[in-house]
Amino acid sequence: MMDFNLKTLQGELGIVLQENILDYWEKYSVDDLSGGFIGQVNADNTKSFEANKGLILNARILWTFSISAVEMRSDDYQKLADRAYTYIQKYFRDPIYGGVYWELDYLGIPTQRKKQIYGQAFTIYALSEYYCLTGIQEVLDWAIEIYKLMEQHSYDDKYVGYIEAFGEDWSSLSDVRLSEKDANYEKTMNTHLHVLEAYTCLLQIWPNDQLKLKLTALINVFLERFIKSDGHLSLFFTRDWVLSGNTISYGHDIECAWLLTEAVQEIDDEDLIEKVRLVAVKIANGFIEEGIDYDGGVINEREGSNGKFDYDKHWWPQAEALVGLMNAYTITKDPKYVDALLKVWSFARKYHIDHENGEWHWLVNREGKPDLSKEKVGFWKCPYHNARACFEMINRIKHVKK
């Protein structure tokens, strides 16, 4: 019965991926007026052609259509990937100091030239996937160039880890926040998680001993600094690793569980692999106990200061939960993880997926009502989490033994 449910889920995800996600982005995100992709499309699918264009949105579009072109053998998706690469190279790339800018206006003029390491990492991630699609050497060379800039400027030789952000010329900044809602600390779990993700992908196409050492060090930073004894992640630190706050982000917990497992597969260390697998399962267990609401939806956060829950259901933790729980099932073969992920999917299918207008709603409240003031396409609203979850789940279910 479990295999039947997973196979049914596999089919549903294939349809959602094609008809609800990729078709939507192909139809609504292309900017035929100013080039590249539109900076914002609202919940009712109205296009804001003069919205600023963020690096994260564009890098994630490049990643999404690159993997879509590879997995689905689609010339149309390759054209969109080519479009994304050309735009990023022309407008986001810093020809003087290297790296990529954080934000442009709708005409492609930089409005924030800072070097946010989170954005540099996502560019490496996207370029690595685009290289898998095209095999173009200059794409790989550019990814390696950004990696070396990150190691030169962001890696902390004294305390290890990566400093959050820099100025245009890689000078230090007083405000290193990723977004206005984030605390202003020099080291964050979120940025380290996506450096880990980027380095994993880069190592797969560029076997390099130094990069492997850096990825190993990142894995150990997670085991020693970010993952607490209760299986939750610590989010914000000073440069010398003094923790600030105890907010729990359930989406990041479960995303980390599977990304860390993927990363350690690239390292020839069986002891470290086993250690990470145990941690990934521990995270998944805590996630099931606390992070999934009565209705199957993934809760956004719990404040560490007062223990108050934010019961809003954002789109991306639902997607990450599918993969993180499937990862735990692959490790343990315990059907409770499949049961949990099917409940999450049932919630996402019912409340997050916009079956009428396409894509997924940014968030729904605890009563299941979507917030239609939130955009469908935007600086942070991208096709990466939900499309990636579909690809990951479809491929992982293929390997489930009958």
Per-residue pLDDT of the chain (402 residues; tens, 9 = 90+): 455 589 999 999 999 999 999 999 999 999 999 999 999 999 999 999 999 999 999 999 999 999 999 999 999 999 999 999 999 999 999 999 999 999 999 999 999 999 999 999 999 999 999 999 999 999 999 999 999 999 999 999 999 999 999 999 999 999 999 988 888 999 999 999 999 999 999 999 999 999 999 999 999 999 999 999 999 999 999 999 999 999 999 999 999 999 999 999 999 999 999 999 999 999 999 999 999 999 999 999 999 778 899 999 999 999 999 999 999 999 999 999 999 999 999 999 999 999 999 999 999 999 999 999 999 999 999 999 999 999 999 999 999 876
Q: Please give the full DSSP string across 58-83, using - where no structure is assigned.
A: HHHHHHHHHHHHHHHT-HHHHHHHHH
Contacts of 237 (CB under 8 A, 6+ apart): 161, 185, 186, 187, 188, 225, 243, 244
d(CA 247, CA 154): 25
d(CA 45, CA 364): 18
Which pLDDT belongs to residue 1?
Answer: 43
Look up tokens 């689905």; give the residue: 72
d(CA 79, CA 30): 11
Which pLDDT belongs to residue 180?
Answer: 85
Short-list 358, 360, 298, 288, CA closest to 325: 288
311: three-class secondary structure by DSSP: coil
What the block records as the tokens of 67 is 């993997």
- Tell me if 139 sits within 8 A of 127, measured CB to CB: yes
- For residue 243, the surrounding DSSP H or E stretch is strand 243-244
What the block records as the tokens of 81 is 């990937």
Q: Please give the full DSSP string across 184-223, using - where no structure is assigned.
A: --SEEHHHHHHHHHHHHHHHHHS--HHHHHHHHHHHHHII
Residue 240, burial from CB neighbour count under 10 angstroms (0-12, 13-18, 19+): exposed
The domain locations on the chain are 2-398
265: three-class secondary structure by DSSP: coil
What's the predicted TM-score (pTM) here? 0.97
d(CA 92, CA 89): 6
2-398 adopts what CATH topology? Glycosyltransferase (1.50.10)
d(CA 186, CA 166): 10
d(CA 307, CA 328): 27
